[in-house]
Structure 1
């Protein structure tokens, strides 16, 4: 089924739709919206585009509101809408900055619960900040000035969307992801006004996109429902589904990119730690990026440990020095920039515990296949271990937790006995097929956008992301077409802003 067919099957009387073009500089997401827009137009469905003209200061794409980034974003949008021959009306985002006070010294957990009406603005803003800095030890004081800007703008944007949706009354809204500060403002506005929405994200691979009906992409119950639908329906017989699932695990073992980049491609395939001893009982911890699920929502908060470090410290404070028992902790390769996290984990190293740093060439899969037992906090390696017949303990929240393919301790007290049990057998792996088949096939095939890689592609033959930034464009062209702001500037103002931009960027 095509993406547009999925929408029209659910909403056959659809007459109008609204888009918010929020993440234009993140490849494939704006192109997804353009494709859907064209499809709606072909069906005679009208709509509007909510667009930013240098209004949303400190956004996900442009944290410091650089002129050349705003310029590129607007130029891509205009070019894309022309390529799509958009008949939708473009409505510029306009809002009043809302004053919103939160006390000094507020904790992250307290801030997470911060709401403005039905808008969980605390979680939304944290999601943007965490993604921006990849900082698992975020404090509100550390980023307070940026957080204040995001909170005030997000609330102002929420009120703008509530007003516009109430006025326009579209039948449906389409937006990217929905977990960030500004997109979640629209998502919550839809909910309070009573308008249905679809969030969109990448699909199983670079040739697909996915639609999530009235929810966020990380909704656990929604994922489980989609996984069940994929397995019980679909175009493949069960035998072929199993083969597709097997290829999923084989491809991951070989470091092939699927829906995102492979983090094992720079590792040496057969490399194990020099001190590895096959006669020991080797337990390997595979960590996730510590910041990955900090600010998605309460359903991703582990009932056992608040963080992976919390879990590691608890385990090794309780763990006696058992003879021939060795622990290896593989810090996720994507955690290179999480300096403080890496430092704290590294402090756990001892004669019994070996830390493998993010940049280490030691092979993740060589560790996996030689481990007597695998422990994760929700990492995909947890279900991969189950597929390969290795006992797997999951201490966190994951998309596969309900499949009964990993051991999921009910309490902290259950962790150590499970960890030290040398006779713990692997779980039945039948559920691993359902998970892998869904991740191999979910989403809808692009028909107009042609992806050339995860980060580039062509929309109607044109690479939108190749449009140059302001600093790469001849200055003379700028004076003729000052498209990067929401009002016409005099030549003097353009020159001044461009001069200041050059000073900031190039020191001249």
Structure 2
């Protein structure tokens, strides 16, 4: 089999390690392997948002290191800016929606650029529109040139399979879209774990990791095909929910309930009413997931959805809106507008820094409504009727009542609902925690170890120069810290610190 891999940056971890690891697997299997990689093909990437040439120089140097260590039998293909034909398309965008819908030759360039922007800035309001446009316009033009080049490259190579890491952001999303247009088999490589456990590699065949239908099928397949007993699967899956309720880090980067007071309910909680808890999500995070996560949505915003529910609920129903703790300090309009809902008498708003216990509220309420956060599937596990308004990775498990239209939502709010069986919630958690059956065996250590100094010191088995972690860090400091401090990038933008 002829396989084409693409790597957007040699300095991303575990991204680079996962690609290198999969290449070694393909070599073992006798495949013909091509590795295309950015050699200033694009003016920016996730690791180098402002296009600093010092970072690019170090990135190229590390690809040379990879070639020496892992490149035997691999066709290394650096892609240069000069390799592409360049056109001035005179693109004009008047507002973010016009960028979001922008496609070029079947590639969702606009949404992938916005996805990255929302991910970094959380600026749904596009408050710095002029600065964003100055950064985005040359990049979008550059991406269109890159799309033309990749179509020609894949036409000439005729690979049987195209493989990338993830695929959500602009730097490599085009390979996913182009593979679909050209009818080439596609695989997205992804890392699971990290933070409190070693990274493992997982493959998403035919789609990228954010594809809800593929994710649902993988959840179902693992539960069905795992050799472990039902009792053991149930035991393992249950630990996910028990740890989260007890404020123990599972695989997240932080525990959002650690500042909440156990068993504390909102003041004036009235048990004589039908009480419904609404747990909102960070809307900027959902927007950053891309267009697929907007398909089938019943409302344009969470504010619109909640107001609709308030206006169509029986008088005997009271809502409690638990605003996600992750929104503390976030000032975009999608968040601040939520507080205007207090004009309705049938809702109590719990701010993100409130000490009210999210789990005590869940236990005390009759139903739970979410917009895709894990609280929805947690509520199902703990025996609460859980209503999902929007999209979620667990929507295909049957753990929640997934609303298909507004009439269905009105009925779900106003009528008695039995809790769903725990099975769907167990299937989801079992997949999320699995590091044995759905992941691949590694050829190299792909894990990342962090030490926090004046900058983040991170070591891997592949980030080495002459077998030395410290020499890599010295180079990294010189090129990526000092090199960017004293020199402007090609695409200047006041990015917040990541």
Q: Which residue of 2 aligns with 1:57?
A: 43
1:44-83 matched pairs, under 5 angstroms: 44-83=30-69
Is 2:332 the counterpart of 1:344?
Answer: no
Is 2:195 the counterpart of 1:199?
Answer: no
Is 2:423 the counterpart of 1:436?
Answer: no
Q: Which residue of 1 aligns with 2:460?
A: 458
1:288-367 matched pairs, under 5 angstroms: 288-294=281-287, 296-298=290-292, 300-319=294-313, 322=315, 325-333=318-326, 336-337=329-330, 339-349=332-342, 352-367=346-361
Provide the aligned C-alpha RMSD in A: 3.5
Give the whole-Å Cα distance in 2 for the aligned partners of 1:501 and 1:333: 32
1:26-175 matched pairs, under 5 angstroms: 26-94=12-80, 95-105=84-94, 108=97, 110-138=98-126, 143-175=132-164
Tell me if structure 2 keeps the 8 A contact 1:68–1:471: no
Q: Shift of residue 276 of structure 1?
A: 5.4
Q: Shift of residue 405 of structure 1?
A: 2.6
Change over 3 Å in CA distance of 1:29–1:439 after alignment to 2: same
Among 247, 270, 280, the alignment partner of 1:287 is 280
Tell me if structure 2 keeps the 8 A contact 1:203–1:210: yes
Change over 3 Å in CA distance of 1:182–1:245 after alignment to 2: same
Tell me if structure 1 keeps the 8 A contact 2:9–2:45: no
Give the whole-Å Cα distance in 2 for the aligned partners of 1:57 and 1:312: 41
Deviations 1:341-389 (A, max 9, x none): 3211122235653333334454433333333321101112111101100
Q: Shift of residue 81 of structure 1?
A: 4.1
Tell me if structure 2 keeps the 8 A contact 1:263–1:334: no
Q: SS of 1:153's equivalent?
A: helix
Q: Shift of residue 112 of structure 1?
A: 3.5
Is 2:397 the counterpart of 1:413?
Answer: no
Q: Shift of residue 174 of structure 1?
A: 1.5
Q: Which residue of 2 aligns with 1:189?
A: 178
Q: Shift of residue 46 of structure 1?
A: 3.6
Give the whole-Å Cα distance in 1 for the aligned partners of 2:461 and 2:12: 14
Among 376, 379, 382, the alignment partner of 1:385 is 379
Tell me if structure 2 keeps the 8 A contact 1:386–1:392: yes
Among 471, 477, 485, the alignment partner of 1:472 is 477
Q: Which residue of 2 aligns with 1:22?
A: 8
Give the whole-Å Cα distance in 1 for the aligned partners of 2:143 and 2:324: 34
Is 2:230 the counterpart of 1:238?
Answer: yes
Tell me if structure 1 keeps the 8 A contact 2:42–2:143: no
Q: Which residue of 2 aligns with 1:487?
A: none
Tell me if structure 2 keeps the 8 A contact 1:173–1:195: yes
TM-score using structure 1 length: 0.80
Tell me if structure 2 keeps the 8 A contact 1:136–1:291: yes
Q: SS of 1:118's equivalent?
A: coil
Q: Shift of residue 268 of structure 1?
A: 3.3
Is 2:427 the counterpart of 1:404?
Answer: no
Q: Which segment is superposed worse, 19-28 or 359-368? A: 359-368
Structure 1: stretches of 5+ with no match in the other structure: 1-13, 479-483, 485-493
Change over 3 Å in CA distance of 1:328–1:193 after alignment to 2: closer
Tell me if structure 2 keeps the 8 A contact 1:104–1:141: no
Give the whole-Å Cα distance in 2 for the aligned partners of 1:66 and 1:266: 39
Length, aligned pairs only: 468
Q: Which segment is superposed worse, 65-74 or 286-295? A: 65-74
Q: Shift of residue 211 of structure 1?
A: 0.9
Q: Which residue of 2 aligns with 1:262?
A: 254
Is 2:219 the counterpart of 1:227?
Answer: yes
Q: SS of 1:275's equivalent?
A: coil
Change over 3 Å in CA distance of 1:308–1:102 after alignment to 2: farther
Change over 3 Å in CA distance of 1:326–1:221 after alignment to 2: closer
Give the whole-Å Cα distance in 2 for the aligned partners of 1:185 and 1:48: 17
Give the whole-Å Cα distance in 1 for the aligned partners of 2:340 and 2:461: 49
Change over 3 Å in CA distance of 1:235–1:77 after alignment to 2: farther
Q: Shift of residue 166 of structure 1?
A: 1.9
Tell me if structure 2 keeps the 8 A contact 1:71–1:469: no
Change over 3 Å in CA distance of 1:247–1:449 after alignment to 2: same
Q: Shift of residue 396 of structure 1?
A: 0.9
Q: SS of 1:57's equivalent?
A: coil
Give the whole-Å Cα distance in 1 for the aligned partners of 2:129 and 2:94: 7
Structure 2: stretches of 5+ with no match in the other structure: 451-455
Q: Shift of residue 262 of structure 1?
A: 3.3
Change over 3 Å in CA distance of 1:283–1:77 after alignment to 2: farther
Change over 3 Å in CA distance of 1:138–1:313 after alignment to 2: farther
Give the whole-Å Cα distance in 2 for the aligned partners of 1:327 and 1:123: 33
Change over 3 Å in CA distance of 1:311–1:43 after alignment to 2: same
Q: Shift of residue 198 of structure 1?
A: 0.9
Q: SS of 2:391's equivalent?
A: coil
